[in-house]
Amino acid sequence: MELVEHIDNIKKPYDNAVITIGNFDGVHIGHQALFHEVIEKADAIDGTSIVMTFEPHPVRVLKQNGHPPLITLYEQKLELIESSGIDVLICIPFTMEFAAISAKEFVEDILLTRIGMRTIVVGQDYTFGKNRKGDIKLLQTYAKTLGFEVIVADWILALNKSPDRISSTRTRKLVMAGNVAEAQKLLGRHYQIRGVVTTGRNRGGRLLGFPTANIILHDELCPKTGVYAVTVEFGNQRHKGVANIGFCPTFGDQIFSVEAHILDFNENLYDRKIRVNFVQRIRDERKFSNISELSDQIKKDIVKTRKILS
């Protein structure tokens, strides 16, 4: 996949460009369906399949406060879009200046002239241009006069018996509620956080007998506090594990932490990047009477995790 991180880096229009545009936070099944439709159309006209996205998320620039946490950070979003088979990913640095571009200028100058768009594939709620004044009706009007095709994709429903569509908002709510098993059905994969293993409070191995890999979250969505069955990836390895998200109430220091005990593993992971995939929430975090009681509970959590991940 070709990665273009600024519109000025496009030297010439692409051949028969078929494009979809969006934030694609989460790269969930609905987004993946759009990518698939783009690829199919590009194959049919011997064209180039293109995804355009933005960094940072436009809401973070336009609202600055109250923006939602990200389901996928930029690095993971690129990986997921590349794995879909798209030819070109154009990532636009989103600024107030870019937000001021009119709907007509966006279509004529950027999509048609710069990129060479022949077909655009969008969801039913797509908007574009300054103050989001461009909508599908306006896009279809431009298509008639400027000579390109608009394909409006159908919604992908969340579940067979649910009238709700798959969306980043719905996915975010499920993860924040700890319902990572349901979120997996929308994402098409387990919800993942990633980070560099840092030094913790030296309690997991020393006091409890269960060493943990501690990571610090920065800007991503965090599942509800509690204990989870997870898989942990680093390099080409994948291991089963138990993760705790929360404040370790038994120790009373009320410091938020994300830590994973990797089963049947005793290597040093400090300063290595790991990826933690949340498979199922096991229980709430709670305060135990003493360290021995907590250790006994962790043993039970590990037994349950082995069954879930078997």
In tens, the pLDDT along 181-200 reads 999 999 999 999 999 999 86
> Is the CATH number 2.40.30.30 carried by domain 191-309?
yes
Read off the pLDDT of residues 142-189 as tens digits, 9 standing for 90 and up: 999 999 999 999 877 665 555 578 999 999 999 999 999 999 999 999
**pLDDT score of 207:** 55
Sheet holding 88-93, edge to edge: 2-4, 88-93, 48-55, 17-21, 117-122, 149-152
pLDDT band at 79 (very low <50, low <70, confident <90, very high): very high
pLDDT band at 226 (very low <50, low <70, confident <90, very high): very high
Query: Strand, helix or coil at 35?
Result: helix
CA dihedral 248, 251, 255, 257 (to 10 degrees): -40
Task: Find where tokens 């509800």 sit.
Answer: 224
The H or E element that residue 197 is part of is: strand 191-198
**pLDDT score of 118:** 98
Q: Are strands 48-55 and 17-21 parallel, antiparallel or unpaired?
A: parallel
Read off the pLDDT of residues 238-275 as tens digits, 9 standing for 90 and up: 999 999 999 887 776 678 889 999 999 988 899 999 99
Query: Strand, helix or coil at 210?
Result: coil
Pick the CATH number of 13-152 from 3.30.360.10, 3.40.50.2300, 3.40.50.970, 3.40.50.620: 3.40.50.620
Question: pLDDT at residue 298 above 80?
Answer: yes
Phi, psi of 267 (to 5 degrees): -85, 160
Domain boundaries, the chain: 13-152, 191-309
pLDDT band at 205 (very low <50, low <70, confident <90, very high): very low
Q: Which two tokens stand for residue 102?
A: 């009119």
